[in-house]
Amino acid sequence: MASLPKRIIKETERLVSDPVPGITAIPHEDNLRYFEVTIEGPEQSPYENGVFGLELFLPDDYPMEAPKVRFLTKIYHPNIDRLGRICLDVLKTNWSPALQIRTVLLSVQALLASPNPNDPLANDVAEDWLQHEDAAIAKAREWTKLYATRQ
């Protein structure tokens, strides 16, 4: 395997030595570009008390190209689809090489705190969210309890 760029080494070291509260990111033994990530649901959100598993992959062109991030835990959220794909600007058009793994994961956590049903990825969820917000939030809570409770 080609040697790991210094940038990735530095970021990994800092993720371990100075972790972001509520977020863990551990590189895979076999592939140091692949991270197993957990994010705690933000307080006062429907995802509170949930722990969500994600995977994060740094492509060859990182940091020129954005990391690829996907939810592994089932989640009811207008900007996250059934396959766990996330609709988030910094993962796409607004990516900049000056951003980092930690900033991206913080953005994902912020997305959990403030869903944006006006720019949806999962259309059915977003529609639900716009029409019956209370019911949608209740469902998100229920799914969190069902799928995202720490064992």
Interface with other proteins by CB under 8 A: which residues? 5-7, 9-10, 61, 63-65, 96-98
The active-site residue, picked from 15, 39, 87, 122, is 87
Q: How far apart are CA 3 and CA 60, in angstroms?
A: 11
Q: Could you tell me the smallest distance in angstroms from the CB atom of residue 15 to other proteins?
A: 14
Take residue 126 and report the two structure tokens written for it. 């977003």
Cβ-count burial of 29 within 10 angstroms (0-12 exposed, 13-18 middle, 19+ buried)? exposed
Q: How far apart are CA 95 and CA 104, in angstroms?
A: 9
Instruction: Give yes or no: 87 in active site.
Output: yes
Q: Could you tell me the smallest distance in angstroms from the CB atom of residue 97 to other proteins?
A: 5
Question: With respect to other proteins, which residue has the nearer C-beta, 3 or 151?
Answer: 3
Question: With respect to other proteins, which residue has the nearer C-beta, 68 or 74?
Answer: 68
Q: Could you tell me the smallest distance in angstroms from the CB atom of residue 61 to other proteins?
A: 7
Take residue 73 and report the two structure tokens written for it. 């835990």
Which phi and psi angles does 65 have, rounded to 5°? -105, 145
Active site residues: 87
